[in-house]
Amino acid sequence: MAITSGGKDRTSCSLPAVPAPEPIAIVSIACRLPGHATSPNKLWECLQAGGMAVSDKVPASRYNSAGHDEDPERHVHRGHGPCRVRHAVFFSFNKADEISTGPHQRQLLEVVYECPESGGITLEKISGQEVGCFVGGYSAGYHDIQNRNPEQRPPGMTVGIGRAILSNRISHFLNIRGARLGVLVRFGWRGRGLPVPPDREDECRHRGRSQPLDVARTSPGNRDAAGRLLAHGAVPHIRREGGRLRAEAVNAVFLKRLSDAVRNADPIRAAIRGTANNSDGRTPGINSPSSEAQAAVIRAAYADAGLGLDSQQRYTETGYLECHGTGTPAGDPLEVKGAASALCQGRLPPEPLIIGSLNSNIGHSEPGAGISGLIKATMAVESGTIPGNPTFVTPSPNFDFDGLRVRPTRWNMPWPKTSNKYRRASVNSFCYGGSNAHAVLENAEHFFPAPSGSVSS
């Protein structure tokens, strides 16, 4: 453990002006999310239709849920999950790998394979290059299954189900030689979760970032011993009993420095202007979030982007906030309060900050939630449409939406006229235990050089 000191206090609004670093281009994205969302396009179709991806029962292909119901009142069988897990013969697994490799690793390979190619970047182009690979994940259900009977454990189990092998497996298959890192996270993909400043350094020319959530669970449905799960879905920002519904997710994002992406004529889905992460420190309980720390990480992300330093107008130009949206009575109000204190000072009542959360459509994808929200926000700034939140029916009395000058929307809506030059969104994410992260996104068009021969106004 290392404890460092000497850093500046970033909780103040008066952050020093610093040169804005180069933005990061989101070149391509890929995902496996609930509701048959096997690609970003299918996810967007689901969002535009106001879809809710909820399965009433555990798929029979997982396990016999009826045999586990010794206490039906304490189980939540509803949930959100991808359709199926496919064998990855394409990835040249030997027999031992095929037997021992868990579904999270298989699906991660599939999604990572699809990600650069969706941006027109062939595997031949990145083979042998200094492309970094950074993976965050949490659960190890398949590991527990394989260890039930030590005498029948398959060979190669360490490689097949170890979470530490995920980034190595990807680097090996793609033959990429940049920095790689595997991180154990619970909610939201912490640490280097939402893309952060080292992307702008020379660790590697490009950085592919991905994250899996184990899709094999040994528990019958989602055991509700702590009373935090909700049988009827994940519903942030509304009046209801507290709880959330868990989702399965595998996401990947391929990033480049903006100048490299423009020079190579890569497609640019959106640009990451700034990022930051911090910690709550001591709160009333380790699972109690801090609105002050969340406001501080937002200000730090805008400072990293070179925004919000000289005028509150810079904050009010943000049109949309993708909330972490845990669906809990404590987490949601504190998140919105913290975000509003940073982003809504100076907003006029007719121009509130629009907020939403992908959790209302697919559930809480836990370590996948950070990049799940990033993918949604990317497509929103790209298209100029903010998807609605289908579960937002009766507002929660725990929120003073008018006083905070924020507004959830149940229906799809065009991007608010916060700026004539760009569409800016914020993506918020936090984790139980006190980690917070924030990213600032913009649509990419205004970063492109003007066509030769054009006359500027």
Q: Of the ranges 32-46, 305-319, 357-371, 441-455, which one carries the lowest mean pLDDT score?
A: 441-455
- Regarding predicted confidence, which is higher, 345 or 29? 29
Residue tagged 């994205």 (tokens): 29
Residue 214 has phi, psi (to 5 degrees) of -55, 130
For residue 318, pLDDT over 60 is answered with: yes
pLDDT over threshold 70, residue 152? no
Place of tokens 């899996």: 212
Q: Helices 166-174 and 103-118 meet at what angle, rounded to 10?
A: 50
Q: Distance between CA 42 and CA 60 in Å, rounded? A: 24
Residue 223, pLDDT score: 35
Q: Which two tokens stand for residue 131?
A: 């492309």
Query: Taking 50 as the threshold, does the pLDDT of residue 7 lie above it?
Result: no
Mean pLDDT, rounded, for 30-44: 90
Q: Which CATH superfamily is domain 272-446 in?
A: Thiolase/Chalcone synthase (3.40.47.10)
Give the pLDDT score at 215. 30
Residue type for position 88: A
Residue type at position 6: G
- Superfamily assignment of 24-60+75-258 in CATH? Thiolase/Chalcone synthase (3.40.47.10)
pLDDT in tens, 215-231: 322 232 333 333 344 44
The better pLDDT of the pair 29, 185 is held by 29
| Measured distance CA(59)–CA(322) in Å, rounded | 30
Q: What is the pLDDT of residue 85?
A: 41
Cβ count within 10 A of residue 262: 16
- What does the pLDDT read at residue 376? 96
In whole angstroms, give the CA distance from residue 91 to residue 247: 26
Pick from 159-173, 191-205, 333-347, 387-401 the range whose average pLDDT is largest: 333-347
Q: Are 53 and 46 in contact (CB under 8 A)?
A: yes
What CA–CA distance (Å, rounded) separates 142 from 145?
A: 5
The pLDDT confidence band at residue 64, using thresholds 50, 70 and 90, is: low
User: Rounded to whole angstroms, how far apart are CA atoms 220 and 58?
Assistant: 8
Most confident of 96-100, 186-190, 270-274: 270-274
Q: What average pLDDT does this structure show over 367-388?
A: 93
Region 129-157: mean pLDDT is 71
* Three-class DSSP category at 406: strand
Confidence of residue 40 (pLDDT cuts 50, 70, 90): very high
Confidence of residue 449 (pLDDT cuts 50, 70, 90): low
Percent over 70 (pLDDT), the chain: 65
What integer is the mean pLDDT of 315-331?
86
Q: Express each pLDDT in 409-446 by its tens digit.
A: 989 999 998 777 789 999 998 877 788 999 999 999 87
Residue 451, pLDDT > 80, answer no
Q: What is the mean pLDDT of residues 59-71?
A: 60
pLDDT of residue 146: 67
Domains of the chain, by residue range, sit at: 24-60+75-258, 272-446
Instruction: Render pLDDT for 337-373 as a digit per residue (tens, 0 to 9).
Output: 999 999 998 888 888 999 999 988 888 887 788 889 9
Residue 362: predicted pLDDT: 86
What distance in Å separates the CA atoms of residue 319 and residue 425, rounded to the nearest whole number? 6
Q: Residue 190: what pLDDT?
A: 41
| pTM, two decimal places | 0.82
